[in-house]
Chains A and B, each alone.
Chain A
Amino acid sequence: MATFFQRHQNQLVPFLFVVPALVYVGYFAFYPTAQTIQYSFQTRILAFTWYNYQANLQSGLLTWISNTLWLTVDALTIQFGLALAVASILNRTFRGKTVFATIAILPIGIATVVAGFAFNQIFPNTGAGYANSILASFGIAPVYWLNHPWMALLIVAIADSWKNTSLVIIILVAGYATIPRTLYQAAAIDGAGPLRQFRYVTLPGLRGFIVMALLIRGAQEINIFQLADIMIGSYPQLLTVQIYSLWETSGGYPYIASAVSTVLLAIVSVLIVVVILIGGGGKK
């Protein structure tokens, strides 16, 4: 023991500086999370029950899960495609680069609910909206954007990607900066064209950054709530929108909503485990 303290003595004081933050996140993040899990097995009368899970399974829990996952896959595909394109453009030198960089990150500042409203006006479920105005000027009949669940989820994914691609761009631009220019020159000398340079120089160089961005955005995507609620309401239903509607109508009793919350947490936990395994970006 003595050696342990001797060895870590110079660590103790810096650690004390971190304690307030740990107490804060422990009390306001981890403790409520544990409470949610506990609530999910309770009702107003019962101390332990599976009732909340059974009731939600009957109301369509599995559909809510699959909708949430589809939306996540759609959105991540769109925003990583877009972000790779924008970041590779920003990696070049051209006139107007600063202006384009600013335009590309503007959406990061727009509130999620405002983004939801703007895209709701572009793609409403009524056959009206700005997208149909544009189609009409080409003589194309109005489209009912949200008629099919897969289409509605795709439209929400596009809106979400508008709002959140900026974050991925910022992370990937940082990644590009770590790739030595000489690698590209060497690849070019070896006869690699732009596509092969992308495949064999850019992608390996960005790997760590892409993984972290995927984990961050993946977790946030599974938690998507108000953007979807404003655009599509509860058709197709997502886990978060369902949690809110169960909570809103519960009269202040968190039990039934907590079961869906716990499922949501379980899905995000898969990503959290990955983060813990690779150590919060500490991978060297």
Chain B
Amino acid sequence: MIAGTMAATPLEPTPGARTSAPKYSANRFSLSNIGLYLVIGVLSLFFLFPIYLIFLIGFTSQQYTIFSARPPLIPPALTLINLQQALSGANSPFLPSMYLSLEVAFFVGGLALLIGIPTAYGLSRLGRRLAYGLTTVLFVVNMVPSITIAIPISVEFIKIGLYGSPISIGIAQELLALPVTVFLLVGAFQGLPPDLENQARVDGAGRFRALYGSLVPLIVPALVAAFLLSWMLSWDESTFALILYNPASSATLPVNIFLAFTGRGSPTIGVAFSCIATIPVIILTVFLQKYLKGEDLAAGVRG
């Protein structure tokens, strides 16, 4: 079954589910729970430690971090020097880089909805076999190596002079954002009662009017989630952005980070940009958590 909402399972339990859940040893520490919390503690440490490091290194003098033989885990003193050096100065790539990253991310999010809404609607109205086939096509697009696609695209864009433009990077990154957007929205459309569309069409609306007038307004939360997820994919993406990057103009934040840490740029830029690039995605991940559903990310798998 294509990404339905029947078994929609956000990681966060819904309030209703929480109250109806069995109460066995849920709210008190028993002997068996100590073991559980120990495991949870170790796992949490594993997931959080690298994020802690990103900010530790960002706000500590480099002699205590990347240039130290025994870098301390607790900073001797906090400083803004890395951020100041990376962000200020006439030659700082920060503003153009940030601007390009934002332009591309908003373009990818917008295009995901522009193409994703009609695609998801069509898929949710198609017969089962055809819908499977088309879903598989989108799924395969997600599996083809980015670098395999990026080089010929780059050759084409060099020829037509669009090389390094936000649109060229965005169009390529859309290949990653579109499938997830479509899977997410198909689920949202399937969750609507079919009578809604029938009613609109009986009232004389064509399919387009029925879609954009009656159905789309009802799935706004899913649209927001799809937009933000696409935005985040683009914000983090660096393979297309690197191969399509024109050294004569600017690079996105992740590409600058990559160049900085592979000996092609200043480490200070890398250290500071890593912090800056990470702040919005942490907020977005927490916000998007309940929309990140396994069914959507695995193209509507059912066991």
- A residues neighboring B (CB under 8 Å): 11, 13-18, 20-22, 24-25, 28-33, 35-36, 39, 82, 85-86, 89-90, 92-98, 100-122, 127-130, 132-134, 136, 162, 167, 169-179, 205-209, 212-213, 215-216, 219-220, 222-223, 225-226, 229-230, 233, 240, 243-244, 247, 252, 254, 257-258, 261-262, 264-265, 268, 271-272, 275-276, 279-284
Contacts and interface: CB of A to CB of B under 8 A. Distances in A.
Nearest to B57: A121
A281 B121 contact: no
B44 interface: yes
B183 to A, nearest CB: 9
A39 B261 CA distance: 31
Nearest to A97: B13
A173 B146 contact: no
Contacts of A30: 141
Contacts of B282: 106, 109-110
Interface stretch (B77-85, B92-100, B149-157): B149-157
Contacts of A32: 148-153, 156
B136 A132 contact: no
Contacts of B200: none
Contacts of B238: 111-113, 226
B33 A94 contact: yes
Nearest to B183: A281
B268 interface: no
Contacts of B301: 171, 174, 208-209, 212, 281, 283
B74 to A, nearest CB: 11
A275 B139 contact: yes
Size class of B's contact patch?
A: 35 or more
A162 B52 CA distance: 14
Contacts of A282: 1-2, 132, 135-136, 300
Given A114-B274, A219-B143, A36 B152 contact: yes
A110 B145 CA distance: 20
Nearest to A128: B69
12 contacts: A14-B122, A86-B43, A93-B24, A101-B12, A102-B285, A104-B44, A106-B51, A111-B257, A119-B50, A122-B50, A130-B53, A175-B303
Given A35-B152, A212-B299, A17 B146 contact: no
Contact of B142 (A39, A130, A208, A216): A216
Contacts of B146: 223, 225
B242 A226 contact: yes
A283 B299 CA distance: 11
B87 interface: no
A11 B127 CA distance: 7
Interface of B: 1-2, 7, 9, 11-13, 21-24, 26-27, 33, 36-37, 39-40, 43-44, 46-51, 53-54, 57, 65-66, 68-73, 115-116, 118-119, 121-123, 125-127, 130, 132-156, 158, 171-172, 174-175, 178, 182, 207, 232, 235-236, 238-239, 242-243, 253-254, 257-258, 261-262, 270, 274, 277-278, 281-282, 284-286, 289, 292-295, 297-303
Contacts of A216: 142-143, 297-298
A214 to B, nearest CB: 10
Contacts of A28: 149, 153, 171-172, 174-175
Contact of A18 (B118, B270, B297): B118
Contacts of A15: 122, 126, 130
> Lowest 8 CB-CB distances: which A-B pairs, in order?
A174-B294, A17-B122, A280-B136, A109-B285, A109-B281, A14-B125, A281-B301, A177-B9
A102 B132 CA distance: 32
A171 B293 CA distance: 7
Contacts of A173: 9, 11, 294
A121 B277 CA distance: 18
A113 B258 contact: yes
B154 to A, nearest CB: 8
Given A11-B127, A20-B118, A94-B26, A110 B278 contact: yes
Contact of B70 (A11, A136, A257): A136
A268 to B, nearest CB: 6
Contacts of B257: 111, 113-114, 117
Contacts of B171: 28
A111 B11 contact: no
Contacts of A82: 43
B297 A170 contact: yes
Nearest to A280: B136
Given A15-B126, A114-B277, A118-B50, A205 B178 contact: no
